[in-house]
A = this chain, B = another copy of it.
Amino acid sequence: MTARERLVRIGEVAREAGVSVRAVRYYEQQGLLTAERSPSGQRLYRQDAVTLVRFFQQMYAAGLTSQRIAQLLPCWSSGHTDAEQRAMLRAERDRIQAKVDDLQAALDRLDEVIAITDAHP
Chain B residue nearest to A64 in the complex (CB) = B106
Contacts of A104 in B (CB 8 A): 100
Report Cα–Cα, A59/B75, bound state, in Å.
34
Give the contacting residue for A75; candidates B76, B111, B113; CB below 8 A.
B113
Interface of A: prevailing SS: helix
The answer to whether A120 has its CB under 8 Å from any CB of chain B is yes
Contacts of A62 in B (CB 8 A): 102-103, 106-107, 110
Chain B residue nearest to A90 in the complex (CB) = B114
CB pair A96 B86 closer than 8 Å: no
Report Cα–Cα, A100/B90, bound state, in Å.
19
The answer to whether A109 has its CB under 8 Å from any CB of chain B is yes
Which 3 residue pairs are nearest across A and B when measured between Cβ atoms? A62-B106, A81-B117, A93-B110
